[in-house]
């Protein structure tokens, strides 16, 4: 594989590189990989790309996109060797699916709003697989916040949707009141159930705000981590050691940390 005159590598160049790595004279490690062994790397690369997106670093995003693309092509190549399908079929299938599911772009549908697109998409999916329920294609292993988002998104696409943001906020207050009641009654099991209900409602609030609770919480985690490490690095706070600090000292220093630039 050689770059072209401009130093660029084509998509097919990368595919040929994989064929070479998997060949009898290629790399022993690459040759022994299976779809099952590659799943771990697939998940790792996906999360690394997500973190790069959080950091909004174009250089990192470019690199992580390449790593993820390589794993995807790797998995495709293994199945091609088994005679199941090849990369051309993968590309053809997704191209056909995207055209079919965008009739407002490539057909005569008149969907003007994003909400209409979501409902239309769900309708087309249901027509494609009439024997499946709307949740069948949601991976069981998804993180719970993201799965809650997908469940409510699918239901909303079929018409089971909140009338507006105010309705979600009202429901969140109701669930919070029920959680507080369970805590007052010292009922841990009920409290856990009510906490789950509250989280599910808050996931819907994030969805109607145009994002996922998973992304929101990931950003908050990063913010907390940076602020807490900055707190620990403060010479004025280290003195007697963090374990000896009172709750009031922790709170006061934390509040000052929140005013520092991130």
Do the beta carbons of residue 122 and residue 157 sit within 8 Å? yes
Could you report how far apart the first and last alpha carbons of the chain are, in Å? 44
Long-range contacts of 101-105 (CB under 8 A, 24+ apart): 101/125
What's the topology of domain 11-87? Helix Hairpins (1.10.287)
Burial of 119 (0-12, 13-18, 19+ CB in 10 A): middle
List b or e across 27-54, with b for residues whose CB sees 16 or more CB atoms inside 10 angstroms.
eeeeeebeeeebeebeeebeeebeebee
The tens digit of pLDDT for each residue in 148-199 reads 999 998 898 888 999 999 999 999 999 999 999 999 999 999 999 999 999 9
Same fold, 11-87 and 143-211: yes
Give the distance between the most distant pair of CA atoms in the chain.
74
What is the pLDDT confidence band of residue 4, given thresholds at 50, 70 and 90?
Answer: low
More confident call, 9 vs 168:
168
Q: Does 142 score more than 90 pLDDT?
A: no
**Which residues make Cβ contacts (< 8 Å) with residue 182, sequence separation at least 6?**
190, 191, 193, 194
* C-alpha span between 47 and 30 (Å, rounded): 22
Q: What is the pLDDT of residue 3?
A: 54
The tens digit of pLDDT for each residue in 30-41 reads 999 999 999 989
pTM over 0.85: no
* C-alpha span between 22 and 73 (Å, rounded): 12
What is the pLDDT confidence band of residue 255, given thresholds at 50, 70 and 90?
Answer: confident
Residue with tokens 């005159």: 5
* C-alpha span between 222 and 18 (Å, rounded): 36
The tens digit of pLDDT for each residue in 193-211 reads 999 999 999 999 999 998 9
Give the three-class secondary structure for 106.
helix
Residue 223 to residues 56, 143, 236, 247, Cα–Cα distance (Å): 14, 20, 21, 21
What's the topology of domain 143-211? Helix Hairpins (1.10.287)
Q: Does 1 score more than 50 pLDDT?
A: no
Every domain of the chain and the residues it spans: 11-87, 143-211, 217-259
The tens digit of pLDDT for each residue in 51-104 reads 899 888 999 999 999 999 999 999 999 999 999 999 999 999 999 999 999 999
Q: What is the pLDDT of residue 240?
A: 58
Mean pLDDT of the chain: 89
The tens digit of pLDDT for each residue in 229-239 reads 888 887 776 66
Tokens representing residue 159 in the block = 């018409």
């Amino acid at each position: 594989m050689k770059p072209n005159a401009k130093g660029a590598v084509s998509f097919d160049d990368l595919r040929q590189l994989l064929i070479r790595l998997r060949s009898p004279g290629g790399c022993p490690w690459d040759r022994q990989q299976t779809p099952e062994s590659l799943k771990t790397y697939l998940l790792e690369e996906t999360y690394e790309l997500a973190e790069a997106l959080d950091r909004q670093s174009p250089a990192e995003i470019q690199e992580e996109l390449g790593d993820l693309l390589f794993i995807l092509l790797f998995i495709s190549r293994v199945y091609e060797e088994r005679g199941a399908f090849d990369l051309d079929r993968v590309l053809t299938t997704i191209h056909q699916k995207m055209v079919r599911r965008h009739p407002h772009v490539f057909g005569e549908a008149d969907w003007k709003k994003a909400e209409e697109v979501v409902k239309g998409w769900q309708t087309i999916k249901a027509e494609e697989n009439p024997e499946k329920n709307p949740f069948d294609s949601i991976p069981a292993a998804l993180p719970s916040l993201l799965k809650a988002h997908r469940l409510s998104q699918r239901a909303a696409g079929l018409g089971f949707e909140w009338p507006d943001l105010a309705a979600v906020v009202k429901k969140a207050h109701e669930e919070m009141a029920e959680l507080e009641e369970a805590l007052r009654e010292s009922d841990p099991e009920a409290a856990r159930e009510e906490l789950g209900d509250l989280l599910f409602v808050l996931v819907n609030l994030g969805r109607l705000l145009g994002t996922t609770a998973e992304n929101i919480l990931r950003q908050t985690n990063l913010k907390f981590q940076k602020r807490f490490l900055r707190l620990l690095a403060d010479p004025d706070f280290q003195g007697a050691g963090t374990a000896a600090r009172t709750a009031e000292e922790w709170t006061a220093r934390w509040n000052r940390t929140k005013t520092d630039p991130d």
